[in-house]
């Protein structure tokens, strides 16, 4: 019998239903809970539709799909989650509802039940602090769509036993995911390390020499599937701004995470990207790539952030590389870039950017201690 033979998913939205599907595909029984009956039904329909698409592509048979669906039971109350060995929460991204849910589940589930939050932006320790036994909760951050994306960030807070994060990492592997263990820090790995990828592109844009299509073209020429502005448009400028502001505030308004005026202006205009039909590079236009020095600078900022994260003990170099490649489809991880060009070259690129930056932004380019190793 697999570990966590019965899984409960709290929240039947896109993320919750995707996680439920993944768990059911691994042979586990799944309890899909939502207080809203329509939400529960929509969640089950979404799973059914996803399985139908797999059938149409010849990936699974109709009988396999029916077996997967049969493992998923809808739950209308928290009390129905009592049999679960693991409860994964995927509800609204606010601390109070998450804390209230886990407090209720403490009184319902047995002492051996493990709790996991799928939060992408709230401190796992903050959520756990509301529990009588905070050591039973950790983070399992899936990426959307959960039934497709391979990465899972396994997040332990200060009180989490290492054995629990290892157990949750093993569970993630068993359901077909690639886990990366990281410490509890704003943005975890991907959402924090991605900030300079977007931010340095915005800094270059505001200098007025190159426009967004040219900057994106330079990054595509470097091997990235999408440039930073296309990614902002895809996710939504408003979502990107909110994530940037969260990390910026949580990390002491460090200029490395500055929400640039160009991004704020885009949101103020309502030009949010794909969902509004207008954005930085929406509608798409053909553009010649900016010089390679632009891509060099953006990658240097990305490498520097990853090095700062490593200095802080957030995750190891291999984990950061894996997370960025799987979470954002980057062609190479920051430390793979560092290995290719050497720390001296990265420091030189940072110094060149600092030399022309406004005084308020110069600290943005201070190299991490991990870059002090001579080339």
Please give the positions annotated as active site. 120, 141, 153, 191
Query: Alpha-carbon distance 179 to 322, whole Å?
Result: 9
Q: Residue 346 corresponds to which tokens in the numbers above?
A: 């990265």
3 state SS of 139:
strand
The per-residue DSSP string of 29-70 comes to EEEEE-S-HHHHHHHHHHHHHHHHHHHHTTSS-HHHHHHHHH
Question: What distance lies between CA 10 and its chain's CA centroid?
Answer: 19
Torsion of CA 338, 340, 341, 344, to 10 degrees: 60
- In total, the chain counts a number of residues equal to 375
Query: Alpha-carbon distance 131 to 160, whole Å?
Result: 13
Q: With contact defined as beta carbons under 8 Å apart, do 186 and 192 qualify?
A: yes
Provide the pairing of β-strand 178-183 with 6-10: unpaired
As to burial, measured by CB atoms within 10 angstroms (0-12 exposed, 13-18 middle, 19+ buried), residue 73 is middle
Query: Alpha-carbon distance 275 to 132, whole Å?
Result: 42
Q: Residue with structure tokens 């700062």?
A: 308
Angle of helix 228-235 versus helix 237-250 axis, rounded to 10 = 100
Cα angle, residue 122 at apex, residues 362 and 314 outer, rounded to 5° = 55
Q: Check whether the bond before 123 is cis (ω within 30° of 0).
A: no
In sequence order, the β-bridge partners of residue 183 are 156
In sequence order, the β-bridge partners of residue 89 are 10, 117
The residue ranges of DSSP E strands in the chain, in sequence order, are 6-10, 29-33, 72-75, 86-89, 114-117, 137-142, 151-156, 178-183
| DSSP designation for 368 | P
């Amino acid at each position: 019998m697999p570990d966590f033979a019965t899984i409960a998913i709290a929240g039947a939205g896109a993320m919750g239903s995707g996680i439920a599907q993944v768990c059911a595909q691994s042979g586990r029984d799944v309890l899909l809970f939502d207080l809203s009956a329509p939400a529960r039904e929509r969640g089950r329909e979404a799973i059914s539709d996803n399985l139908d698409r797999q059938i149409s592509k010849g990936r699974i048979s109709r009988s396999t799909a029916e077996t997967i669906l049969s493992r998923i039971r809808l739950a209308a109350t928290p009390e129905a989650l009592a049999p679960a060995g693991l409860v994964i929460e995927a509800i609204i991204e606010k601390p109070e509802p998450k804390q209230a849910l886990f407090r209720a589940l403490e009184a319902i589930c047995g002492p051996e039940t493990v709790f996991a939050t799928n939060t992408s932006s709230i401190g796992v320790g903050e959520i756990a602090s509301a529990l009588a036994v905070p050591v039973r909760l950790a983070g399992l951050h899936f990426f959307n769509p959960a039934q497709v994306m391979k990465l899972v960030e396994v997040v332990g807070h200060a009180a989490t036993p290492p054995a629990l994060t290892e157990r949750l990492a093993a569970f993630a592997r068993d359901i077909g995911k690639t886990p990366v263990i990281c410490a509890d820090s704003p943005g975890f790995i991907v959402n924090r390390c991605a900030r300079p990828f977007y931010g340095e592109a915005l800094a270059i844009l505001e200098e007025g020499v190159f426009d967004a299509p040219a900057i994106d073209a330079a990054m595509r020429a470097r091997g990235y599937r999408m440039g930073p502005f296309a990614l902002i448009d895809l996710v939504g400028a408003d979502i990107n701004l909110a994530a940037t502001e969260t990390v910026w505030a949580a990390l002491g308004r460090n200029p490395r995470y500055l929400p640039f005026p160009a991004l704020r202006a885009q949101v103020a205009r309502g030009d949010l990207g794909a969902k509004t039909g207008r954005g930085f590079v929406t509608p798409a236009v053909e553009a010649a790539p900016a010089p390679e020095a632009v891509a060099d600078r953006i990658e240097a900022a990305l490498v520097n952030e990853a090095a700062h994260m490593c200095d802080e003990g957030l995750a190891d170099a291999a984990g950061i590389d894996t997370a960025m490649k799987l979470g954002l489809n980057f062609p190479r991880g920051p430390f793979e870039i560092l290995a290719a060009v050497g720390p001296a070259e990265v420091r030189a690129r940072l110094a060149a950017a600092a030399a022309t930056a406004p005084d308020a932004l110069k600290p943005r380019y201070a190299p991490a201690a991990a870059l002090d190793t001579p080339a």
